[in-house]
Structure 1
Amino acid sequence: MTGGGTADGTVGKALAVLDQVAAFGRPVRFGELLAASPFPKATLYRFVQTLTSQGMLAFDPERQTYAPGLRLVRLAHAAWEQSALAPIARDHLDALSAELGETVHLAQLDNAQVLYVDKRNAAKPVEMFSQAGKVGPAYCTGVGKAMLAFLPDAELAPILDQQSYHAFTPHTLTSAAQLRTDLEKTRARGYALDREEHEPGIICVALPILSQTGRVLGALSVTSTTTRMSLAELEGHAPLIGQAAGRIAAEAETWRFPDATGPRLQHETRA
């Protein structure tokens, strides 16, 4: 577990414990948490007990394990409805997926990482890393690079410093300098490319979802495999992806700043 949350005091430390529990991907015993925790046993126990009493963690007395609690589910649902692009983008993802028959991803930046908020599988699905709700690296994914390329430099610089630049494949960009060069090309052409940079055989074209003022709201991508098509063929879908991204951005304008009697109520009825 990283110590990134410790600078924010007690709340940051408690959130770091929640992150640690979630990272196991299964119910976890206190001893397992302690073995991976930077906190002393008494401190960790206090955080775990408080989080459990507040419903942020759930304790199974038979198995003596902890797991994310139902209060988190309620908060996640609220965040999904109020902060994620997924609710307004779902129809556009459905239409793009039906037209192209390839995997479609919707993502947003989560600090220095990519959060996949929705996904449509290809007509012939292929196993890959991305799933809705999963966090991935920004520097070697199409959606990540599409968003980074359109950030103001003041926002981009600290994010680049936080990338790991781990070489997942022989094609991965492994330095901030390489990534900056790629982002300049991305901005010039208007879309990002994933040339098997995160997973072997997986290629991607991604476009940013931008507000009217140019603020990055998220990214939309179409992903395929090198056995199914070439990257050049996949690039041919960029105009369609861009049109869908534009429609999502247009709806996001009224969604984020709703009229109490207008578009928001219509959206809530549709949802």
Structure 2
Amino acid sequence: MNSHVNEMRARDGTVGKALDVLDTVAGYGRPVRFGELLEGSPHPKATLYRLLQTLTNQGMLAYDESSHTYSLGLRLVRLAHVAWQHSSLAPVARPFLDALSARVGETIHLAQLDEGQVLYVDKRNAQRPVEMFSAAGKVGPGYCTGVGKAMIAHLAPAERARAIAQQSFYRHTAHTLTDPERFAAELDRIVAEGVAFDREEHEPGIICIAAPIVAPDGRVLGALSITTSLQNRTLEDLTGLRPDLIDTAKRIAEAAASWQFPG
């Protein structure tokens, strides 16, 4: 996380600290003990305990007395469901994802951009499912996923520069782009071609073609991808699906035109 974001969060006081704790608990993907949270926490023991107690009292976290663990609370789940309905592209895109999935028979991803990272908001499994990282609700890197590159490429110049600065450029595979300048050049090619590719950049053997979902006013609403394994298809095969992918992305953008999505 860059220094600017850290400075902004430092000004957010107790609310910001509590949200950071929620993020940390959610990040474990399982019930977590106080000691585990304390080990990686920037807060003193007493402060962390107080934040956890407040979040638990408010129903944002749940505490299991038998296992002494914290997990996400039902109030947070309800809020997340409402947010998914009102702020996510998923409800609008659902019928288009279903139709594309039926036509191509491969894994379909729908994603939105969150602080330079990819938030997967919906997914359709392939006819022959392939094990991979992505799942609805998961957060992935922007710089080495097809949907991430498609969205970042079509941002306004200042927003694109900010998104590039938010990338970790960690090498996930031998194909991962880890140089910001090469990544910027890749983004220019994506704008020119209209689609992005994941060439085994995030996971070995996993490839995809992705297209941005862009509102009439130029806002990037999200991205759509067709993902598969090299055991099933080649990049040339995916290139052949480009017209259908772009057409589906445009249809989703048209259907979402009257919706007010968060910036």
Give the TM-score, by structure 2 length: 0.94
Structure 1 residue 255: Cα displacement: 3.0
Structure 1 residue 29: Cα displacement: 1.4
Distance in structure 1 (CA, Å) of the matches to 2:28 and 2:149 = 28
Distance in structure 1 (CA, Å) of the matches to 2:132 and 2:197 = 17
Distance in structure 2 (CA, Å) of the matches to 1:18 and 1:36 = 13
User: Percent identity, aligned pairs only?
Assistant: 62
Query: Counterpart amino acid of 2:217?
Result: T
Identify the match of residue 252 of structure 2 among 237, 248, 255: 248
Identify the match of residue 36 of structure 1 among 16, 37, 40: 40
Distance in structure 2 (CA, Å) of the matches to 1:53 and 1:75 = 16
Q: Structure 2 vs 1, CA of residues 254 and 240 (structure 1 numbering), >3 Å: closer, same or farther?
A: same
Which residue of the partner structure matches residue 266 of structure 1?
Answer: none
Distance in structure 1 (CA, Å) of the matches to 2:96 and 2:217 = 22
Matched, 1:84 2:122: no
Three-state SS of the structure 1 residue aligned to 2:77 is: helix
Which residue of the partner structure matches residue 123 of structure 2?
Answer: 119
Which residue of the partner structure matches residue 204 of structure 2?
Answer: 200
Which residue of the partner structure matches residue 53 of structure 1?
Answer: 57
Which residue of the partner structure matches residue 66 of structure 1?
Answer: 70
Three-state SS of the structure 2 residue aligned to 1:200 is: coil
Matched, 1:231 2:239: no
Q: Is the 8 A contact 1:191 1:207 kept in 2?
A: yes
Matched, 1:179 2:169: no
Distance in structure 1 (CA, Å) of the matches to 2:171 and 2:28 = 23
Q: Is the 8 A contact 1:28 1:66 kept in 2?
A: yes
Matched, 1:102 2:106: yes
Three-state SS of the structure 1 residue aligned to 2:236 is: helix
Identify the match of residue 160 of structure 1 among 148, 159, 164: 164
Distance in structure 2 (CA, Å) of the matches to 1:83 and 1:115 = 12
Gaps of 5+ in 2: none
Which residue of the partner structure matches residue 169 of structure 1?
Answer: 173
Structure 1 residue 6: Cα displacement: 3.6
Q: Is the 8 A contact 2:155 2:220 kept in 1?
A: yes
Three-state SS of the structure 2 residue aligned to 1:239 is: helix
* RMSD, aligned CA: 1.5
Query: Counterpart amino acid of 1:35?
Result: E
Give the TM-score, by structure 1 length: 0.92
Q: Is the 8 A contact 2:195 2:242 kept in 1?
A: yes
Aligned residues: 257
Distance in structure 2 (CA, Å) of the matches to 1:21 and 1:110 = 18
Q: Which has the higher contact order (CA 8 A, sep 6+)?
A: 2
Query: Counterpart amino acid of 1:40?
Result: P
Which residue of the partner structure matches residue 268 of structure 1?
Answer: none
Distance in structure 1 (CA, Å) of the matches to 2:231 and 2:29 = 31
Distance in structure 1 (CA, Å) of the matches to 2:11 and 2:239 = 43
